[in-house]
Amino acid sequence: MQEYQRKQLLERVGRDGSTVGAQIPDAIEIQGEELDLRTFVFEIKRRETVPPGERERVDQAKRNLRRERVERLALIEDNQVSYERGRELAESIIGIDRALNALDQLDPVDLEAESKRKEAADQKRWTTFLKKALGHEDSNKRNRR
């Protein structure tokens, strides 16, 4: 691969917005294992949030994808592949980035914290209601003047 070709591939991979319009690969080999990447991402993304039981699985997949991205990028940076192979790697890196973006946008579900927030809001509403009903809120305002 010529130096200018290598630089073009690296620029393409590093460009802001490179994932816009890019597709997540159907399948990808990560550390010797075949992963149905598109199916995995859409299965997780369909839920909008990641349940606590799935969080570790998603985090592990993201770590593996990042590691694979670094390894593929290094092959291009070190000029260890042909231009055609470099183009394939660049496309797969962009697909990995697209998958990572989709997975990073998911919010974890912390049911316990959400429950505590709702309970605190309910207590505040109830206290405010009782103060108004018992006339305590009006007397506090008159005493402050």
Taking only the tens place, the pLDDT of each residue in 29-77 is 887 888 888 888 888 777 767 767 777 888 888 899 999 999 999 999 9
pLDDT at position 114 over 70: no
Distances (CA, A) of 12 to 59, 93, 95, 96, 138: 27, 10, 12, 14, 66
- β-partners of residue 49 are 107
C-alpha closest to that of 99 among 50, 48, 67, 61: 61
CA distance 2 to 75: 14
> How much is the pLDDT for 66?
92
Instruction: Summarize the confidence of residues 14-18 as an average pLDDT.
Output: 79
> How much is the pLDDT for 71?
92
Helices 3-14 + 52-77 axis angle, to 10: 160
Higher pLDDT, 1 or 88: 88
Where along the chain do its domains lie? 3-109, 110-145
Average pLDDT taken over every residue of the chain: 82
C-alpha closest to that of 98 among 49, 26, 11: 26
Report the 10 Å Cβ neighbour count for 21.
Answer: 8
Q: Going by C-beta distance under 8 Å and a sequence separation of 6 or more, which residues neighbour residue 22?
A: 94, 95, 97, 98
Higher pLDDT, 8 or 139: 8
**Structural tokens at position 18:** 């490179």
pLDDT at position 21 over 80: no
Whole-structure pTM value: 0.66
**Using 50, 70 and 90 to split pLDDT, how confident is the model at 110?**
low
